[in-house]
């Protein structure tokens, strides 16, 4: 890890995998996290997080990273989109793009859910692809809840209807979106409690 200017992480899984292999980061290494949930995971393993972009996306992270003459280390999933790497390289920033872990499917057989769930939580494009491949056709009463707009776009691209999307990319916001969708609050009316 010596010699890198920045470590850029875009998932809690990348944080966990790297922390299992590297007990301590060099003191001069700066850390950038794609969003607050990833930053929390980094802080939980003892890392100082130096940058979290205002919008939790790879594009925003690439745009927010300060100019650097050093190399950026980007440990990622084998199926990560090239958005971050392409944007950093377009800015002239040297990136070591390293596959740190592999995303493995859940199998090939269709899954029948009886009774059908009220909601299916979709937390990434790869989860959307697994749901579309293994759980369809879904019961029309089953809501699809996505963790963010990028994931919602991925879900729609594989034919899933998106019923609700979290306000921000966090598990808490996703659960809030599901609760709000499944049990919307009724506005108070005059004369009614």
pLDDT digits 0-9 by tens, 123-171: 988 899 999 999 978 999 999 999 988 899 999 999 999 999 999 888 8
Mean pLDDT score of the chain, rounded to an integer? 91
Residue 187 has phi, psi (to 5 degrees) of: -60, 145
| Phi and psi torsions of 30, nearest 5° | -90, 145
Q: Residue 142 CB: number of other CB atoms within 10 A?
A: 16
Pairwise CA distance, residues 23 & 129, whole Å: 34
Mind listing the domains of the chain with CATH numbers? Answer: 4-101 (3.40.50.10090), 119-182 (3.40.50.10090)
Contact by Cβ (8 Å): 114, 135: no
Predicted confidence (pLDDT) per residue in 78-133, tens digit: 988 899 999 999 999 999 999 999 988 778 888 888 899 999 999 988 899 999 99
Q: CA-CA-CA-CA torsion for 67, 73, 76, 81, nearest 10 degrees?
A: 30
In this predicted structure, the answer to whether residue 193 has a pLDDT above a threshold of 70 is no
Residue 158 DSSP class: T
pTM of the full predicted structure? 0.75
The strand pairing partners of 75, in sequence order, are 98
Residue 63's alpha-carbon distances to 9, 93, 124, 140, in angstroms, are 15, 11, 22, 40
Tokens of 7: 């470590």
The Cα 100–Cα 98 span in angstroms is 6
> What local confidence, expressed as pLDDT, does residue 192 receive?
56
Residue for token pair 């005059």: 190
The terminus-to-terminus CA distance of the chain in angstroms comes to 60
Q: What confidence tier does 2 reach under pLDDT thresholds 50, 70, 90?
A: confident
């Amino acid at each position: 890890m010596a010699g890198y200017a920045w470590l850029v992480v875009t998932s809690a899984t990348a944080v966990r995998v790297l922390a299992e292999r590297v007990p301590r980061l060099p003191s001069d290494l700066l850390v950038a996290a794609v969003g607050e949930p990833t930053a929390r995971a980094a802080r939980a393993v003892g890392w100082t997080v130096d940058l979290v972009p205002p919008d939790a996306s790879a594009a925003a992270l690439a745009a927010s990273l300060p100019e650097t003459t050093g190399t950026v280390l980007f440990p990622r999933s084998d199926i990560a989109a090239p958005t971050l790497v392409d944007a950093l390289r377009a800015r002239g920033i040297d990136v070591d793009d390293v596959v740190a872990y592999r995303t493995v499917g859940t199998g090939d057989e269709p899954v029948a859910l009886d009774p059908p769930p009220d909601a299916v939580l979709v937390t990434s494009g790869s989860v959307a692809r697994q749901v579309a491949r293994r759980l369809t056709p879904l019961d029309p009463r089953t809501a699809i809840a996505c963790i963010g707009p990028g994931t919602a776009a991925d879900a729609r691209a594989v034919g899933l209807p998106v019923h609700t999307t979290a306000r921000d990319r966090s598990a808490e916001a996703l659960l809030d979106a599901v609760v709000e969708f499944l049990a919307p609050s009724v506005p108070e009316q005059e004369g009614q409690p």
